[in-house]
Structure 1
């Protein structure tokens, strides 16, 4: 598929494929039945086949330089800074030699998450700490209290989670039970959803303690639209839902969806200037602006 993400991946994939004969490319616009069989819903998608019927989604670095990287890369003061940007998610543990158990724990966790993050280890004479860089969303997570047995694992999971994720049936409960309100953006084009994510990151970062911003494939999950006060064939569209209170606030139909307008819409909801959807019909643009 010739979406923007696929075009970015293609030269990296071609570089690795030249020396790895077990790699195969599939055009889902031609082999749609095969892609459907393996649950491909967005592009580009990578799958690992072990030759014994087991299939696994690959969610790790999509750069040729990462193909031969060890599970945990040994770093020093000169290489640590450059390693921070080698992947979308990078974990660097600064470990004092007396905390050898942290090194052991890091290697175990790296084996678990190596398809989604790159791991580095550097010795320090100071206090042991772990930094995680979410480079796609420009976020840094730091952990200095390592007493809990699952502390590093929780750090990595928080760091890996995208600021604006894709809402699907597989993760629906996770989002609905997070305790946060959800800002849904529906669009049929993967390129348009990616563009929305790129421009909406500042707003999502500003409200991340209270709101989860998610995108929804309008073709694959059109049935999600109606319960949110939206019309299935009118995308792009946006709606805010508070699962805890059972309230839904459809964004004005036809209005521009920009960081400024969405941020203002969220603030108007908080201040009570927008009434919850009554379940009857979606707000039209003129009526919504009158209420605002």
Structure 2
């Protein structure tokens, strides 16, 4: 199979029958993707298991790590990827070009990088086209300025919650709004609908989706009914509180926004640790 517009090929390897080969290239779980540039360099794909995300990774892989631009091409380059960083570099700041080379090498699998000369102040502009956000950095003197720009720009307004990043979200200091969807289409529809709400509360809440088939066990300690999806819950890790969204209720930007406000105003009590079935059984016994 060929990658559109290139002479690169895609090859599928069965790690069960070719375990030695997979071990050689560091494949410890699968599906996994490795890209070989034909010059002895290998890149590992670390993104979500979505065709659209994998296609973007392959397009980045065949593109130069840094695309040299002029003023006209700069505007067009802004939209080539979900995350695009354009470095406007004044020739007097030669050290910035060295920094760009190192950053592009580290993050090329997740973002596209462009460089354009300027007679003004050296400035980095990052476009998060997925969430329609723009971040600008013109003061590179602060030690954490560039890492903070990268983290802010590359982060999704609504991420994907998995075992691999569970601790990152739980230790972020923010409450979580977790949406459980059984299908990719269901989760992507939630993301597209809920972006305005996630943007409004991004300082205080992290909105995430959860693959209800793969991580169904995540739903139980949140007070959600096992196997009943889509479902949603709000969790405050700092205080150990969970607020299950009413089962079967409409999940929309308006209703979720109202649910969050009700929690903030103390109109919704946190889950007491009993499932709905347990409460029914206890009521019947009484």
Say whether the fold is shared (TM-score over 0.5). yes
Aligned pairs, number: 258
Q: Aligned to 1:24, which of 2, 8, 11?
A: 11
Partner SS state of residue 64, structure 2? coil
In structure 2, C-alpha distance between the alignment counterparts of 1:114 and 1:55, rounded to whole Å: 9
Q: Aligned to 1:109, which of 103, 109, 123?
A: 103
Could you say which residue in structure 2 is the equivalent of 1:48? 34
Q: Could you tell me whether the CA contact under 8 Å between 2:43 and 2:109 is conserved in 1? A: no
In structure 2, C-alpha distance between the alignment counterparts of 1:157 and 1:268, rounded to whole Å: 31
Q: Could you tell me whether the CA contact under 8 Å between 1:228 and 1:250 is conserved in 2? A: yes
Q: Aligned to 1:212, which of 206, 209, 214?
A: 206
Could you say which residue in structure 2 is the equivalent of 1:267? 261
Gap change, CA 1:100 and 1:150, over 3 Å in 2: farther
Q: CA RMSD in A?
A: 2.8
Could you say which residue in structure 2 is the equivalent of 1:77? 71
In structure 1, C-alpha distance between the alignment counterparts of 2:212 and 2:179, rounded to whole Å: 9
Q: Could you tell me whether the CA contact under 8 Å between 1:61 and 1:118 is conserved in 2? A: no
Could you say which residue in structure 2 is the equivalent of 1:231? 225
Deviation of 1:26 after TM superposition, in Å, equals 8.2
Structure 1, gaps ≥5 residues long: 1-9, 28-33, 41-45, 284-292
Deviation of 1:270 after TM superposition, in Å, equals 0.8
Q: Aligned to 1:39, which of 22, 25, 30?
A: 30
Which digits, 9 at most, give the CA deviation of each residue in 1:233-253, with x for residues without a partner?
Answer: 111000001111111110011
Gap change, CA 1:96 and 1:76, over 3 Å in 2: same
Deviation of 1:101 after TM superposition, in Å, equals 1.0
Deviation of 1:280 after TM superposition, in Å, equals 1.3
Could you say which residue in structure 2 is the equivalent of 1:171? 165
Write the mapping of 1:163-202 to structure 2, written as runs, cut at 5 A. 163-202=157-196
Could you say which residue in structure 2 is the equivalent of 1:248? 242
TM-score, reference length from structure 1? 0.80
Deviation of 1:75 after TM superposition, in Å, equals 1.2
Gap change, CA 1:273 and 1:92, over 3 Å in 2: same
In structure 2, C-alpha distance between the alignment counterparts of 1:74 and 1:281, rounded to whole Å: 58
Q: Once superposed, which parts of structure 1, at least 4 consecutive aligned residues long, lie more than 6 Å away?
A: none
Partner SS state of residue 177, structure 2? strand
Q: Could you tell me whether the CA contact under 8 Å between 2:225 and 2:275 is conserved in 1? A: no
Could you say which residue in structure 1 is the equivalent of 2:130? 136
Say whether 1:118 aligns with 2:107. no
Deviation of 1:66 after TM superposition, in Å, equals 4.4
